[in-house]
Structure 1
Amino acid sequence: MTVYLLRRLATGLLALVVASVVVFCVLEILPGDPARLMLGFNATEDAVQALRVQMGLDRGLLVRYLHWTGGLLSLDFGRSYTYSVPVIDLVRERAAVSLPLALVSLALSTAIALPVGVFAAARRGRPSDTVAMAASQFGVAVPNFWFALLLVYVFAVWLRLVPAGGFPGWSAGVWPALKALILPSVALALPQAAILARVTRSALLDVLGEDFIRTARAKGLPRKAVLWRHALRNALLPVLTILGLQFAFLLAGTIIIENVFYLPGLGRLVFQAINQRDLIVVESVVMLLVATIIAINLVIDLSYALVDPRLRVRA
């Protein structure tokens, strides 16, 4: 198990290095001078040159890359030239919105998907199974921003139960802050729940045909115990994989939803930084999200061994 863990850590570190090179090179080859774009085309050449020196653009590519990665390792992400504050402060402030939003959305999608997937697998071929899979297909096909607009119209404009957008901050209280995250969480969770429900159903159907399930039924175990205690646990490997991918998507891919609901999260921060050509913010936030996704995948890989003891023996 230790060798397996070290191997996965080495793979994650290699992926992190490759990702840093890709992110740095992609932003470097973008057309235009970032300093001139930030100051405007009417700025004087002296002002543009001074900003280039301040941003470190007068140094070579390798020197800038090493300086940037060295700062990342020491959690010194640099200073935003648009907001005039350290990037780490921006990340800390925006993560207080994006992280709870992703966690609530993931919990909600899991709470919806697992019962629906088990229900559909237990009633394979029946009308209830067809209805559940048709609803999940609709959820997969419809984009989350359409769900967001529909939820805003129904629950914020028509029923006036929750705010249509904005975030009061956690200083205003836990309930007002969570109330502002309800609609975005539902809009993010519904499409993910549809995908997870289909994966759960498919994984369960594969497991329900195994010999140990027939043995459990022959021993007289209740149908519910066979489904939830034996079948679902052995079908969790693909479900865990999708959960890891979904959390990564929810954390890094909320740009549209955060803009629809005017949430000051990481996705909106990256969107604004790209528009303003604040490269240090874009590079740092993207690399932080990449590192988070790699760490999540590592945790998911390790959870496989906890769910399936056979993997511990192989490892």
Structure 2
Amino acid sequence: MLSYASKRVSVGIVTLLAASIIVFAVLEIVPGDPARLMLGMNATEDAVRTLQEQMGFNQPLISRYFSWLGGLLTGDFGKSYTYSVPVFDLIKERVAVSLPLALISLALSTVIAIPVGLFSASRRGSIADTAAMGAAQIGIAIPNFWFALLLVYVFAVMLRLLPAGGFTGWENGLWPSIKSLILPSIALALPQASILARVTRSSLLDVLGEDYIRTARAKGLSRRRVLYHHALRNALIPVLTILGMQFSFLLAGTIIVENVFYLPGLGRLVFQAITQRDLIVVEGVVILLVATVIIVNLVVDLAYAIVDPRLWSRR
């Protein structure tokens, strides 16, 4: 197990290093002078030269990369041109919104999807199975921004149970902050739960057709015990893959929902940084999100080994 984990960690480190080179290179090959791009085409030459010196754009490319990489390793992501504050402080402030939002959405998705997948797989071909998978298909097809607007209209405008948008801040209390995240979490969880339910059902049906499942049934074990104690664990590998992908998406891909609910999260920060041509912020947030994806994939790989020890025992 230790050898397997060491190999996965090594692969993750190499992948992250390669990703840092790609992220840095992509922003460096943007046509034109980065300083002029940030200031706008009408900027004076003196202003462009001053920004080049401040941001280090006048240094050699290799020096800028290693300086940027060294800063990342020490927590120095640079300074935002637009906000005139360290990028790390901006990210820390926005992560305090995006991370709880992603975790609540993922928890809702899992709590809904796995029981639905189990229920549907255990009743394959029945009316209940058809209805459950039909509902899941509708959940996938509904755009989450439209569903978000519908939630606002019903629960904020009509029933006045939850806030329509904005974020009160954790310093103003736990429950008011959680209330601000409930509707966006539901809007994000619906399509993810629909996908996860279908994957859970499909994976369970594959496992239920295996010989060892038929042997367990032949020994007199109940269908419920076979389903929960034998089939579910072996069906979890595809489910874990989807969960890892969903967490990465929920942390990085919530721009539309965050804008619908006016949430100051990472997705909205990236959107604002791009529109304001704040390349330093874009670099910092993107590499952080890439690192998050790599770490989540590493955790999923290690979870595979726990669920199925054959992955590391044969190495």
TM-score (norm 2): 0.96
| Residue of structure 1 equivalent to 2:57 | 57
- 1:311 equivalent to 2:311? Answer yes
User: Are the counterparts in 2 of residues 273 and 282 from structure 1 also a CA contact under 8 Å?
Assistant: yes
Deviates more, 1:109-118 or 1:6-15: 6-15
Aligned residue for 2:227? Answer: 227
Equivalent positions of 1:78-89 (< 5 A) are 78-89=78-89
**What is the identity, as a one-letter code, of the residue corresponding to 1:259?**
N
User: Which range moved further: 297-306 or 209-218?
Assistant: 209-218
Contact 1:34-1:277 at 8 Å conserved across structures? no
1:42 is displaced (CA, Å) by 4.1
Instruction: State whether structure 2 residue 104 is matched by structure 1 residue 119.
Output: no
The structural deviation recorded for 1:120 is 0.7
Q: Secondary structure at the match of 1:293?
A: helix
1:93 to partner: Cα distance: 0.8
Q: Across the two proteins, how many residue pairs are aligned to each other? A: 315
Identify if the C-alpha distance between structure 1 residues 311 and 38 changes in structure 2 by more than 3 Å, giving closer, same or farther: closer
d(CA) in 1 for partners of 2:313, 2:253: 36
Please give the alpha-carbon distance, in whole angstroms, between the structure 1 residues aligned to 2:50 and 2:141.
50
Question: Aligned letter for 1:47?
Answer: A
CA distance in 2, matches of 1:10, 1:40: 42
- Contact 2:38/2:279 (CA < 8 Å) preserved in 1? no
Name the amino acid aligned to 1:106: L
Partner of 2:291: 291
- Residues 107-152 of structure 1: CA distance to partner in whole angstroms, max 9, x if unpaired? 0000000011011101111111111111111112222212111111
**Identical-pair percentage:** 72
The letter for the 1-side match of 2:62 is L
Secondary structure of 2:66's counterpart equals helix
Give how far 1:289 is off: 0.9
Return the alpha-carbon distance in structure 2 between the equivalents of residues 158 and 61 of structure 1: 56
* 1:86-125 map, 5 Å: 86-125=86-125
CA deviation map 1:67-102 (0-9, x unaligned): 111111111111111111111111111110000000
Q: Deviations over 1:19-48 (max 9, x none)?
A: 112111211222344433443444332122
How many angstroms apart in 1 are the aligned matches of 2:133 and 2:102? 25
Aligned to 1:246: 246
Q: 2:48 & 2:258 partners in 1: Cα distance?
A: 33
Distance in 2, Cα, partners of 1:33 & 1:272? 20
Alignment of 1:1-315 (within 5 A): 1-315=1-315
Range that drifts further, 240-249 or 39-48 = 39-48
Gaps of 5+ in 1: none
8 Å CA contact retained: 1:133, 1:198 = yes
- Distance in 1 (CA, whole Å) between partners of 2:104 and 2:161 is 19
The residue type paired with residue 199 of structure 1 is V
TM (norm. structure 1) is 0.96
Which is worse superposed, 148-157 or 192-201? 148-157
Corresponding letter in the other structure for 1:101: L
Deviations 1:238-261 (A, max 9, x none): 101111111111111111111111
Residue 272 of structure 1: SS of its match in structure 2? Answer: helix
